[in-house]
Structure 1
């Protein structure tokens, strides 16, 4: 019996070593928590292999209870019995996967044991016994409301002992040698198998708890990290925000280098490789291009897969996560190691999660920025009314008109009212119809042309429906800018031509004047930043340009062409409308 105990310990020890290797496979650990049919089938396959391996490495016992220790036991004589760790594998399958997995593994294990005996009549009882043990271990020790339940070593020992005892009952009842065999093998098989079950489950439990602790630590770090990065990404994806964010990520993770890019440029890089991964320069890795084009997370485990153009780049492993904003890839988050062995599934999950969080933060920042630009546009428009210079000029003009033409004065009051009302509507909406925008322009021009009769000739020509949509104050801002800045002190002959038409799937708006033109140095800054002048703060064009880009795309921004013969400002935005096309020409002069 002592020799049998030693041999059984060897077999169970081999199974335990395999279990130790198994839990290091991420796919197996994912199966423990998944409730899908695919995961269940994978567990059946894995534990069935364990059970078959236990059958093959079993120890033969002849009718005289003599041991026959073979390397591989592919077949068993009809009057011989086998001592093996099959029930350990079946019991563990039930505990880990539940009754469905345990029963399936038990059925396969029993069939294989009967196959070893050539399906002799005395070997058929292994099929129902193994299946029953798998079902019982699953039903008694599986939490039906959750995935794998962590079990204490003592409880798993008791389960193993109970299941092996059931097997001994079947052997006693159906084996040809009955009680003689049970008396010889029961104690070593029950004790060693129970101990093996306890160790097997303990190994799985240990790794699961370790992974849970790692995730808990990571979650805490990620919460602190995202809390610190939110203020920066709320300002959008740019060089300034990216440089702050990479420093924060480096502080809270163990990556050797962190990089953030837009679609073409490195916005920030910290850590290894900083000598050639330089902020503001074009991306130097083919992996980043692949992620931007595919929109999928990419993992590289060597320098060749990273594809850095610098021959001495120290980066050997990388996770590149697309930053998806509004169904398009705005940039990438790249996290690097200088040693490929450091890259584990935990780091891949961390990088992927951070990428999703940062993308949401950028989207939130874009939404807030768009809302701010709309509010800024409201303030800019309302400033013209609240500003004493504009307001009192309008009132004085109407007051003077009342002495000469009361009907005209009444019309001007109505236009002033229309101007106020249009501002309020535009402040609430991100898009208005061309008809509403034209009302705003007409109201503004009525007041300005009454103050300066004959100074301006403004014409608006459209070949599209009044239901075409555009951002509020688009034309009004451009016209106001032309009247204030284009003509200097010139009193007559000042023309502004506005054209609105469709070109394929875009709405084109152009505002052209015959003014004195804009200097090349100044034109580079228009729309990109506030350009103060003696006539105003210079924020109107900048706000309009940012609103257009924020609402649509970069192609929708302001485009300037200028010479000493005048200036043309053009806008191209996606064409959207409610009604059909109409052709019309309106003269506002």
Structure 2
């Protein structure tokens, strides 16, 4: 009898797995799983969906000595693990009450109904706990074993006569526990595949955003106008497959490409209220239905949209809009793509306002400083941030702030001199991103003397620190430490960047300081020339091949610019 029961449950589990697999591939179900927060309607709707499946699996069970061997607990526990306590309990109540009063198996009807409700509650309570775990399917199996064990205990406590209940439990405990626990584990695996697909889609969107930013850079570097907006919108339209792409300033439509161009016309006043709200509030907004877009043309074929602000100096100067021609079709990856483009475009527009001729001493300095923000660094930084988005959202947010500060500070310095504190902060932002990428391979130490309130030329330290990391520490498999010190000595401010990396030969040091050398180090040679022209001091480089490098900057305190600052080291 035990083997027959096990075989029957296995056959039904196979059909359930196929059903769940097909369900996991539907866009409707994926949108539910990937929602960050369920609405009240979502919770009620999916409580009935999973509760209905629980009823179906009850009818589909195998009658055994006054009980029913079934897989009802799989969907009820899964409901809680996906939708939280409310959905799990709701599904448990629907399937459990049905088991109590409608379906046969009188010996265990009431006990199984109670255990079904408890199973949904347990699944919901464990949702947040297992979200932080790696092997979630193992925890799904464990929860399944716990729920089935509780059900058997409840049967023994409530069902009468006890002898028949005990006989039934002995007969169904092992096969039901094994089958249903495995079913829950398989369900969790299939759901995790949805999240994995979402992560891969997010990585592709990040790559797409970088490709678009690269293609639009020549236009947006000329500022936000009808020409640059039209070229940019056409590039985005071709590369993203959106139903329409639009770019506005704070008053007018600068470009609209795709559906709706019969009434969303270049030069017209902004026509959608959602765009006006984004400009007013300075934050992105999503409209999943045509009524939420609130276009003044009631026959507009555009059904959903993500609108992100374009900013300069934290001031909203326009919007970027990606439209779809179906309602509820804006996915989380679409949102991340639009937000990423908005951030990159804002940075590009800020760059368009910078006068490089006033910032730098010569054209060679322009090329050298532009080279500091290399495309591969930006790409690697964004990839690192993407990898933290699910595992550590707070860390991802901090890294985005660091990257934003790094980009803006690197391209926005127009003064001849800036506070040492700001230069240190730029270096800290760069190193924070590199530490996130390379983890234990890169260690950083700071030893900044308090009250070093001096001003120095911008972008003096960052090229040296970057050179120490890229060419000093990272070639070592175990990495190493870079230490940044600043102190006063003999009427001089001494700034030292020291690493315990691979070091350099005398020829390599000479090449590093020579702008004519075609190898790495143009940024460092630029720093050396600027220091020599301003202060009459060259960089001092002490390097021991195989043991590390120390670079010293000497700035005379006599006549040195003082600044007000609250730097404390």
Q: TM-score, normalised by structure 2?
A: 0.45
Q: TM-score, normalised by structure 1?
A: 0.44
